[in-house]
Amino acid sequence: MPEASITPTLIWFRQDLRIHDNPALQAAIERGGSVIPVYLFDEAGEGDWRPGGASCWWLHHALQDLAAQLDKHGLRLILGIGQSASELKRLIAETGAGAVYWNRRYEPAVILRDAKIKEALTQRGLEAKSFNSALVFEPWEIKNQSGKPFQVFTPYWKHCLKRAIPAPVEVELKHAHAPRNWPATRALEELALLPRIAWDTGFFPFWTPTSAAAKQRLGKLAASHASGYTRNRDRPDMDGTSRLSPYLHFGQIGPREVFAAFARYDAEGTKGGRKFLSEIGWREFSYQLLYHFPHIPTEPLRAEFNHFPWEMDETLLSAWQKGLTGYPIVDAGMRQLWTTGWMHNRVRMIVASLLVKHLLVPWQEGARWFWDTLVDADLASNTQGWQWSAGCGADAAPYFRVFNPILQGQKFDPNGDYVREWIPELRPVATSIIHKPWEGGGEQLGGVVIGRDYPTPIIDHSRGRNRALQAYGKLKALRSA
């Protein structure tokens, strides 16, 4: 069929904000005709999980970056605001498009919305095709011997690694054709993604939200065979993690590209390489759980935890959110989160344990706070992390395992560098007591007055641990009654 007679294709970008390894984009190019890239800001289509403030900041810059990449190839990113179905209908009428291609998402509300859109487009005689760009394996592909989804990570990932890892998709943008007339677009600023007050100033030194930055960071990690990753990944005082999570969430780099990068340097056989790739596996596992158990963003996977005796306390929650719990490793993490939109993964576990176990605040409250303040807020990973910490999810930490924030600080921030970076009022305090400054005195405190310059612990560790164990005992009693 002559190129001119083929109707245009709308390529609907979502959380796949890249032009490389993008199967929907490549399929649109292969179809022939003109290619019209589109991004629709549809808050209602996200259900109860509209992007939080930090995510919106990242999204703004990622869209800016995507538009620049497309422009180099003679294409424009068309922006729309409002319900996806209505906006697609308008664009189809304006462009004469005969096909809409997109890459799949797996959040429950989005799955329902996309299914309705695909059905409506098909009924109108249009091509409506979706592809996988976000995961190595589709959630419905991996099953245990009983044909059910895995609920323990290790056997899940062992099963996955027996399968072939798909290669990244080659996107031939030199064959992409622009339309003669571009449809109307909204300006990026009209999406109102950036904050009205400058709470994001600390984000800029910490992040470069571009696809090129993601590739650079991945390349360095893979070229070093993730050297030191296993040893340093738990040290918040070091740059020992990949910090690829926001790039993966927004699709500025894909998991297939991660595997390909490590394979290129033959790092899959190294300890660091294997450990890092297992973290990609944990992300896959989280999406499998979200797909098969769509209630888990708000309800525990283990149904008995619906009866857990939480003790919601707004004052305690607020102190935790502000980094004023009196436990330095916890407060450093919460302040890092507020300043940079990110928190070290080991510290995420420590702060979560304090909230749900010492303070008995429901895990959903912590998940919501992370959702609004993390640039890498991802419904699958965030849900899985909080349910793991609360002991109510798949492959979760036992509820009776209560992190000691003092020992955790001493073990993973032995010199207090992380604490001093994020809690400037504790910088004069001696290293020997930096993680328990309330026990110090005189010269050890360097003039810091506990209770005035920095709070005393919001709850004694032993008391908090006992409260958690008592609550767990009540749950066990209910289950056996």
The Cα–Cα gap between 477 and 123 comes to 55
The Cα–Cα gap between 367 and 385 comes to 9
**Domain parsing of the chain, residue ranges:** 3-133, 135-167+211-292, 303-480
Give the pLDDT confidence score for residue 1 in this predicted structure. Answer: 46
How is the chain split among helix, strand and coil, in percent rounded to 5? 50, 5, 40
The Cα–Cα gap between 260 and 328 comes to 40
**pLDDT, tens digit (0-9, with 9 covering 90-100), for 338-369:** 999 999 999 999 999 999 999 999 999 999 99
Beta strands in 75-137 (DSSP E): 78-81, 99-103, 127-131
**pLDDT, tens digit (0-9, with 9 covering 90-100), for 456-477:** 999 999 999 999 999 999 888 8
Q: Is 242 annotated as a binding residue?
A: yes
pLDDT at 399 over 90: no
Torsions phi, psi for 23 (to 5 deg): -65, -35
Torsions phi, psi for 273 (to 5 deg): -60, -45
Average pLDDT over the chain reads: 94
CA distances 392 to 107, 159, 220, 285, 386, Å, are 20, 24, 37, 16, 9
**pLDDT, tens digit (0-9, with 9 covering 90-100), for 152-208:** 999 999 999 999 999 999 999 999 999 999 999 999 999 999 999 999 999 999 999
Look up residue 37 and give its two tokens. 């890239």
The Cα–Cα gap between 125 and 164 comes to 36
Give the pLDDT confidence score for residue 269 in this predicted structure. Answer: 62
User: Which residue among 282, 299, 338, 438 is the active-site one?
Assistant: 282
Domains 135-167+211-292 and 303-480 share a fold: no
Q: Is 241 annotated as a binding residue?
A: yes
**pLDDT, tens digit (0-9, with 9 covering 90-100), for 425-457:** 999 999 999 999 999 988 999 999 999 999 999
pLDDT at 119 over 70: yes
Give the pLDDT confidence score for residue 162 in this predicted structure. Answer: 94
| Dihedral angle over CA of 13, 19, 23, 25, nearest 10 | 60
**pLDDT, tens digit (0-9, with 9 covering 90-100), for 292-325:** 999 999 999 999 999 999 999 999 999 999 999 9
Percent of the chain with pLDDT over 90: 87
pLDDT at 87 over 70: yes
Cβ contact 15:105 at 8 Å:
yes
User: Which residue among 102, 386, 388, 422 is the active-site one?
Assistant: 386
Concerning whether 58 is annotated as a catalytic residue, the answer is: no
Name the strands in the sheet holding 78-81, side by side, starting at the edge strand that comes first in the sequence: 78-81, 35-41, 9-13, 99-103, 127-131
Percent of the chain with pLDDT over 70: 97
Concerning whether 282 is annotated as a catalytic residue, the answer is: yes
User: Which residue among 345, 421, 425, 438 is the active-site one?
Assistant: 345
Concerning whether 386 is annotated as a catalytic residue, the answer is: yes
Q: Is 376 annotated as a binding residue?
A: yes
Q: Is 377 annotated as a binding residue?
A: yes
- 3-133 folds as Rossmann fold (3.40.50)
**pLDDT, tens digit (0-9, with 9 covering 90-100), for 128-144:** 999 999 999 999 999 99
pLDDT at 240 over 90: no
Concerning whether 415 is annotated as a catalytic residue, the answer is: no
pLDDT at 100 over 80: yes
Cβ contact 113:45 at 8 Å:
yes
Give the pLDDT confidence score for residue 147 in this predicted structure. Answer: 94
Give the pLDDT confidence score for residue 136 in this predicted structure. Answer: 97
The secondary structure of residue 273, as a DSSP letter, is H
In CATH terms, 303-480 corresponds, of 3.30.590.20, 2.40.30.170, 1.10.579.10, 3.30.70.330, to 1.10.579.10
The Cα–Cα gap between 97 and 111 comes to 23
Q: Is 41 annotated as a binding residue?
A: no
Look up residue 276 and give its two tokens. 């890092």
Domain 135-167+211-292 = CATH 1.25.40.80: yes
The Cα–Cα gap between 186 and 76 comes to 12
Q: Roughly what angle, to the nearest 10 degrees, separates helices 345-353 and 328-340?
A: 120
The Cα–Cα gap between 332 and 330 comes to 5
Strands 127-131 and 78-81: unpaired
Provide the residue type at 340 as one letter: T
User: Which residue among 182, 199, 310, 338 is the active-site one?
Assistant: 310
pLDDT band at 408 (very low <50, low <70, confident <90, very high): very high
Give the pLDDT confidence score for residue 273 in this predicted structure. Answer: 83
pLDDT at 397 over 80: no
User: Which residue among 363, 369, 371, 422 is the active-site one?
Assistant: 363
Look up residue 438 and give its two tokens. 């309330």
Give the pLDDT confidence score for residue 481 in this predicted structure. Answer: 56
The C-alpha R_g of the chain, in whole angstroms, comes to 24
pLDDT at 4 over 60: no
pLDDT at 29 over 70: yes
CB atoms within 10 A of CB 301: 19
User: Which residue among 46, 94, 279, 425 is the active-site one?
Assistant: 279
The Cα–Cα gap between 340 and 353 comes to 21
Q: Is 378 annotated as a binding residue?
A: yes
Concerning whether 363 is annotated as a catalytic residue, the answer is: yes
Cβ contact 24:169 at 8 Å:
no
The model carries a pTM of 0.95
